[in-house]
Amino acid sequence: MIDDLITKSDRKICLLVIDGLGDIPSPTPLEAARTENLDRLTKSSALGLIDPVGPGITPGSGPGHLALFGYDPVETQIGRGLLEALGVGIEVRENDLYLRGNFATQRDGIVVDRRAGRIPTEETVRLCERLKEIDRIEDVEVRIKPGKEHRFVVVFNGEGLSAGVTDADPQKSGKEMVEARPLIPEAEKTARIINRFVELSNKILKGEKRANHVLLRGAATYPKLKTFKERFQLRALAIASYPMYLGIARLVGMETINPGSDLSQLFQTFAEHREEYDFFYLHIKETDKAGEDGDFDKKREIIEAIDQKLPILLEAKPDVLAITGDHSTPVRLRSHSWHPSPLLINSEFAPTDGLSRFTELNCRLGSIGRIRGKELMPLLLANSLRLKKYGA
């Protein structure tokens, strides 16, 4: 329905996604952080909470972002492998199968570190060069490309491949290594190819101290989606530094810029391109990493750093500004969770809730209420005067 109500406007929309922002009390890193600029903004904004998929559902980053972009994350299921492939610039093809890879550390069959100590990108580049000797398994062509830090992408091309397999990843450190299993009979070959790739990789990596194992997950093929511009008539720019988030933006047809990890440059990039686009998606990853590491102080410090640089963004005057997370990553859980993400919307036409701080508790009291992720885009479109009246 929303697609049919779109009308033109010159107002600029900015969606700032602070990855894994939400947490559980008390206090949360957001509550403990000194955020003078966010507090000032909050006093003239509307607050609420977002369930990326639905209450009680813990979302991956892919579904979380698709929902924020206005797509139904249940109907539109995208494997992480494809998003990573798009993010690192792999030319995607309809008959390819894409998987996200992690270099990991295993001892005696136990995965003791799923990220191999977060090895640097240059180390991953070296290791991927070693793995490139695996160029074919049975009749399937194999391609490998490094990502950021411990991440890489594997692409399989051949007949009879399917995304209907489980992950070759136990999902948590301290658990036994696992093999991929077929979820449907047609995926038996794919599971066999994945497991053989892991076996061959582990032989090559045997002498490595940290990265002596590989994990593969998120098997995916390339779907056909209606683009962001086709749906909302918005010229969109994604400003992010991590491949997966650039990938999901490209999947829905956004143009992309990688500003690096400097927050000043992230916000300055918005200012520099403000007049060229209608919609801007800005992504900050570091809060999620701190949550997954169980580092409360680090997560608080990152939020404070974002707050200190926020005036660069505000001085560029987005007409509609939304700040939220694609999911919550509580420090206590060290993982994504089902807890809703805090949400702030600031525009000329948004209600002013009169609350003094942007925190999880205050967001429970805000006028937006508690919404699902896919309901955010209609609010942003409405606040930018891009939706016509529905009905007579």
Distance CA(52)–CA(66), nearest Å, equals: 9
Q: Are strands 279-284 and 320-324 parallel, antiparallel or unpaired?
A: unpaired
Q: What is the pLDDT of residues 319-346, one digit of tens each?
A: 999 999 999 999 999 999 999 999 999 9
Q: Where in the chain is the domain with CATH 3.40.720.10?
A: 2-77+225-383
pLDDT confidence tier of residue 89, bands split at 50, 70 and 90: confident
* Residues 176 and 110: beta-carbon distance below 8 Å: yes
Mean per-residue pLDDT for 255-261? 92
Q: How many Cα atoms within 13 Å fall on the side-chain side of residue 238?
A: 24
**141: three-class secondary structure by DSSP:** strand
Q: What CATH number is given for 2-77+225-383 in this structure?
A: 3.40.720.10
- pLDDT of 224 reads 80
251: pLDDT strictly greater than 90: no
Structure tokens at 192: 């066999």
Distance CA(205)–CA(140), nearest Å, equals: 22
From the list 91, 48, 82, 33, the residue with the least C-alpha distance to 62 is 82
pLDDT confidence tier of residue 316, bands split at 50, 70 and 90: very high
In this structure, of 79-88, 142-151, 193-202, the range with the lowest mean pLDDT score is 79-88
Q: What is the pLDDT of residues 341-370, one digit of tens each?
A: 999 999 999 999 999 999 999 999 999 999
From the list 7, 15, 24, the residue with the least C-alpha distance to 344 is 15
CA 317 to chain centre: 25
Per DSSP, 186 falls in state G
Q: How many Cα atoms within 13 Å fall on the side-chain side of residue 109?
A: 3
In this structure, of 89-98, 249-258, 313-322, the range with the lowest mean pLDDT score is 89-98
* Residues 382 and 64: beta-carbon distance below 8 Å: no
Q: What is the mean pLDDT of the chain?
A: 94
- pLDDT of 347 reads 98
Distance CA(369)–CA(359), nearest Å, equals: 14
Per DSSP, 280 falls in state E
- pLDDT of 261 reads 86
Higher pLDDT, 391 or 317: 317
Distance CA(356)–CA(211), nearest Å, equals: 47
Share of the chain above pLDDT 70, in %: 100
182: pLDDT strictly greater than 80: yes
